[in-house]
Amino acid sequence: MEPPNQSTTLHTSKAHLQPAEEMRDVHQTSCCIVGGGPGGAVLALLLARRGVPVTLLEMHKDFDREFRGDTIHPSVMEVLDQIGLAAPLHELRHSKVSGPTLRFANGPFRLFDLGRLKTRFPYILLVAQARFLEFITREAAKYPSFRLVMQAHVQRLVEEAGVVRGVGYLGADGWHEVRSQLTVGADGRFSQVRQLAGIVPVKSAPPMDVLWFRLPRLPEDPDVAGGALGGIGRGRILVVLDRFDYWQAGLVFSKGHYQELRGEGVESVRRSIIEAEPRFSKHSESLADWHQFSLLSVEANRCKCWHKPGLLLIGDAAHVMSPVGGVGINYAIQDAVVAANVLTEPLRSGRVQEAHLAEVQRQRLWPTRVIQSMQSFMQERLIAPALLSQQVGNVPWALRLLVRTPILGTLPARLIAFGARRVRLNSV
Ligand SMILES: Cc1cc2nc3c(=O)[nH]c(=O)nc-3n(C[C@H](O)[C@H](O)[C@H](O)COP(=O)(O)OP(=O)(O)OC[C@H]3O[C@@H](n4cnc5c(N)ncnc54)[C@H](O)[C@@H]3O)c2cc1C
Query: Which residue's CA lies nearest to atom 39 of ligand 1?
Result: 187
60 CA closest ligand 1 atom index: 47
Check residue 17 and give its pLDDT.
57
Q: Is the confidence at residue 391, as pLDDT, over 60?
A: yes
Q: Got the DSSP string for 9-38?
A: EE----TTS-TTS-EEEEEEEEEEEE--SH
37 CA closest ligand 1 atom index: 31
Strand-pair category, 307-308 with 311-313: antiparallel
Check residue 377 and give its pLDDT.
85
Q: How far is the CA of 67 from the centre of ligand 1 (A)?
A: 10
Per-residue pLDDT, averaged over 219-238, amounts to 82
More confident call, 37 vs 381? 37
169 CA closest ligand 1 atom index: 42
57 CA closest ligand 1 atom index: 43
Candidates 72, 187, 192, 208: which one to mutate for ligand 1, based on the most atoms within 8 Å of Cβ? 187
Q: Which of 284, 326, 332 is nearest to 44 (CA)?
A: 332
Per-residue pLDDT, averaged over 58-87, amounts to 93
Check residue 20 and give its pLDDT.
54
Q: How far is the CA of 308 from the centre of ligand 1 (A)?
A: 22
Query: Which residue's CA lies nearest to atom 31 of ligand 1?
Result: 37
For the stretch 262-271, contacts whose Cβ atoms lie closer than 8 Å and that sit 24 or more positions apart, written own/partner, are 262/290, 265/290, 266/290, 266/292, 269/211, 269/213, 269/293, 271/233
Q: How far is the CA of 38 from the centre of ligand 1 (A)?
A: 7
Q: Is the confidence at residue 7, as pLDDT, over 50?
A: no
Query: Which residue's CA lies nearest to atom 21 of ligand 1?
Result: 329
More confident call, 62 vs 233? 62
210 CA closest ligand 1 atom index: 1
- Of 11-25, 139-153, 273-287, where does mean pLDDT reach its minimum? 11-25
Per-residue pLDDT, averaged over 321-326, amounts to 87
Check residue 290 and give its pLDDT.
94
Q: Got the DSSP string for 268-334?
A: HHHHHHHHH-GGGHHHHTT---GGG-EEE---EEE-S--EETTEEE-GGGTEEPPSTTS-HHHHHHH
Q: How far is the CA of 39 from the centre of ligand 1 (A)?
A: 9
Query: Which residue's CA lies nearest to atom 52 of ligand 1?
Result: 68
Per-residue pLDDT, averaged over 357-374, amounts to 96
Q: How far is the CA of 189 from the centre of ligand 1 (A)?
A: 7
Q: Is the confidence at residue 103, as pLDDT, over 80?
A: no
> What strands, in cross-sheet order, belong to the sheet with 202-204?
202-204, 300-302, 319-320
Q: What confidence tens digit (pLDDT) does each residue in 115-132 have? A: 989 999 999 999 999 999
Q: What confidence tens digit (pLDDT) does each residue in 219-228 have? A: 888 777 777 8
More confident call, 375 vs 201? 201
Candidates 46, 68, 137: which one to mutate for ligand 1, based on the most atoms within 8 Å of Cβ? 68
Check residue 117 and give its pLDDT.
92
Q: How far is the CA of 316 from the centre of ligand 1 (A)?
A: 7
335 CA closest ligand 1 atom index: 26
Spell out which residues line ligand 1, taking CB within 6 angstroms: 34-40, 57-60, 67-69, 71, 152-154, 186-189, 192, 212, 296, 315-317, 321, 323, 326-330, 332
Check residue 9 and give its pLDDT.
40
Q: How much helix, strand and coil, in percent to the nearest 5, is found in the chain?
A: 35, 25, 35
Q: What confidence tens digit (pLDDT) does each residue in 8-22 have? A: 344 344 445 555 567
Per-residue pLDDT, averaged over 236-265, amounts to 91
Check residue 351 and give its pLDDT.
95
Q: How far is the CA of 256 from the centre of ligand 1 (A)?
A: 22
Query: Which residue's CA lies nearest to atom 6 of ligand 1?
Result: 69
Q: Is the confidence at residue 212, as pLDDT, over 60?
A: yes
Percentage of the chain lying above the pLDDT 90 cut: 67
More confident call, 1 vs 98? 98
Q: Is the confidence at residue 177, as pLDDT, over 60?
A: yes
